[in-house]
Chain A
Amino acid sequence: MTGQPLLSGNLSFYSLPDLLQMLGGNGASGILRLYSPHSPHPGLIYFQDGQPIHALNGDKLGLEALYSLFGWLAGEFSFNPEKFNVSRTVHHSRMQLILDGLKMLDDGEVAVLGPPDPARQSRNLDFNLVHGPLVDYMAVVDEERYVAGQEIMVEGAYGSWIWVILEGQVDLLRETPEGPLKLLSLGEGAFIGNMTSFSIHGHIRRASCVAATNVVLGVLDLQRLSVEYTRMSGDMRAVALSIDRRLKQATDRLVTFRRDEIEPRTEAADLPPVQAAAEDEGIYCITEGKAAVVWRKDGQPFVLAELGARDVFGRIPFADLGQEPHSATVIGDAALAYRPLDRDALDAEYRGLSLTFQNFFKSMINSLAVTTKLSVQAHARVLHAGNDHRRKPAALKSMQTGGIP
């Protein structure tokens, strides 16, 4: 390294796009080094007369390395006017690089090393990233660390551990014949594990979970939470399990659409709406028969959930699922029977739950909202691509029972 750094500073104050613009405007030649506490090696960008011509990031070279450095939101930089001898690998114009890099960052195509932008966090419904509420450490009994890429849980395996993410981000994946399919990402505060872990049959993992960045997970006190679960009223348990079933269905749908398949329309989509659900703010539990939660887009029905005995629908007092009654309709077949639940009692019971349990509910509901949104998007994408030839054979699927875990 020859010469003193002409310019150095902190990336959280002066970011890579700012540096590219500034060095460009000055027609600078030399090497820009980026240092991140989250990376063992520095990132390098070679400048010739203000134009970035080559970049290095670990084993990445050229354009790929340059774009990956847009994710280095925290750390330091220094620019040295040194001579170098590298072949030019980057030919894009400066603005092209900057705008492309930022788009990839916004689209989540570039790994972020460093504290996430708080402005981005609060709007996570447009990202495939689920956050949970602020962590309650009362029920955390242990901390586990995983490195980026490490497996945390495997789909199909037995396991009932429930974790809350303390730091970092994980990816949820499902196995498909074409390989692992990423569903969504979970961030700080989100829970890994489902409410079904508390019931006897619920111990098989529904998805794989892999650390996307280095993560710190809080292991939750399963015994304590199980006791709390068994002490909940039957109605509250019904609510929890019913939301969980909707989440499972939404996830299954997401996988179907992501694999470029369209679900055949269910017969239920043509059934009449359930009066009670449409008219009031009540909450009901199905005792027999089947129902579906349907969202109509441009006149086309989109099934959000299929419900059966022991499923709950209506206005859940402590949660807004973003589905019925305001954003979707509940339709039912002739055999449908249901009983009303006591809203106020449920509300009071919820507020009496431990903070961790309330957070578990919130995390599950966030996951449901994001997964539903993603499945709607994926469905639209498949439709747009005009994939009629990929529709499943004409036999209409009859409704699955949603009531049995």
Chain B
Amino acid sequence: MAVFNPKKREIECKLVYYGPGRCGKTTNLEWIHRTFTKNVVGKMVSINTDGDRTLFFDFLPMGLGKIRGCEIRVQLYTVPGQVKYSATRKLVLKGVDGVVFVADSMAVRREKNALSLKDLATNLKEYGLNIFKVPLVMQFNKRDLGAEGVPLLSIEQMQRDLNRQLKVPAFPASALNGEGVRDTLKAALESTLKHLHQEMRWAQPT
């Protein structure tokens, strides 16, 4: 749920990167923070939660337009999946405006992907959100490992496993070298902002 900050004339919204442990969600954010230096505000907050770190920074997606003359500020987060981090997850996921689900293309992680997606649906439901309605984009990460001989799930297989019902935009990626990261982010931002426009029922961006 986007927050309107009248003092700064900004609309703040939340985009969360979610996925099974070590799938590359933190890599995505680190790449974005390193690369889009003009858009990033301030340092990245990094918390040493067990397993997957929790990352956060502010992002100004310039060039995607304003809403009613207000700048848009996107808060980018990754969130740890462990059951015990419920307070952290609640703060991050409650009122989330867009989600990027990062799936691990390694064949051995197939089940973990599915479980993580199921967890996402459950967590969203806890906060009154529906995974079918929340702006969602998928990323099939670690495609580069195929070249090193690691058995990967094919894109078709992953689409079948994860995206058959949801039917959201999905992008292959190798976050370690940045491939697919920008496309995923752009699609996620567009989807999120479109949803925001509709939610606020305001006029077209200027």
Chain A contact residues, CB within 8 Å of chain B:
17, 25-27, 93, 95-96, 98-100, 102-103, 105-107, 117, 119-120, 123, 126-127
Contact = CB atoms under 8 A, between A and B. Distances in A.
Contact of A103 (B5, B7, B75, B88): B88
B130 interface: no
Given A25-B3, A93-B42, A106 B47 contact: no
B70 to A, nearest CB: 14
A105 B85 CA distance: 8
A126 B51 CA distance: 13
Contacts of A103: 47-49, 54, 85, 88
Interface in B102-140: 126
Q: Shortest 7 CB-CB distances between A and B: which pairs?
A: A126-B84, A102-B88, A106-B85, A96-B45, A102-B87, A99-B47, A126-B83
User: Which bracket fits the contact residues of B?
Assistant: 20 to 34
B22 to A, nearest CB: 15
A99 B56 contact: yes
B86 A106 contact: yes
27 contacts: A17-B91, A25-B3, A25-B7, A25-B12, A26-B7, A27-B7, A93-B45, A96-B45, A98-B91, A99-B47, A99-B54, A99-B56, A99-B88, A102-B91, A103-B48, A103-B49, A106-B84, A106-B85, A106-B86, A106-B88, A107-B49, A107-B50, A119-B86, A120-B84, A123-B83, A123-B86, A126-B84
A256 to B, nearest CB: 22
Contacts of A123: 83-84, 86
Interface in B154-183: none
Given A25-B3, A25-B5, A95 B83 contact: no
Contacts of B43: 93
Interface string B77-111: 00000111111100100000000000000000000
Contacts of A98: 91
Contacts of A107: 49-50, 84
B136 to A, nearest CB: 23
What DSSP secondary structure best describes chain B's contact surface? mixed
Given A103-B48, A106-B88, A126 B54 contact: no
Interface of B: 3, 5, 7, 12, 42-43, 45, 47-50, 54, 56, 75, 82-88, 91, 126
Nearest to A93: B45
Question: Which one of B3, B7, B12, B84 has the highest number of Cβ atoms from chain A below 10 Å of its Cβ?
Answer: B84
Nearest to A110: B87
Given A26-B7, A100-B47, A103-B47, A127 B84 contact: yes
Contact of A120 (B75, B86, B126): B86
B4 to A, nearest CB: 10
Nearest to A18: B91
B91 to A, nearest CB: 5
Nearest to B50: A107
Contacts of B84: 106-107, 120, 123, 126-127
A98 B85 CA distance: 13
A119 B86 CA distance: 8
B177 to A, nearest CB: 28
A106 B86 CA distance: 7
A119 B5 CA distance: 31
Given A17-B91, A25-B5, A26-B7, A99 B45 contact: yes
Nearest to A96: B45
B42 A126 contact: no
A93 B43 CA distance: 9
Contacts of B87: 102, 105-106, 117, 120
Contacts of B54: 99, 103
A105 B82 CA distance: 14
Contacts of B82: 126
Contacts of A127: 84
A25 B5 CA distance: 7
Contacts of B45: 93, 95-96, 99
A400 B75 CA distance: 57
B82 to A, nearest CB: 7
Contacts of B5: 25
Contacts of A25: 3, 5, 7, 12
Nearest to B42: A93
A106 to B, nearest CB: 4
Nearest to A22: B3
A195 to B, nearest CB: 29
B62 to A, nearest CB: 21
Given A93-B45, A102-B87, A102-B91, 16 more contacts: A25-B7, A93-B43, A95-B45, A95-B75, A96-B47, A102-B85, A103-B88, A105-B87, A106-B84, A106-B87, A107-B49, A107-B50, A117-B87, A123-B86, A126-B83, A126-B84
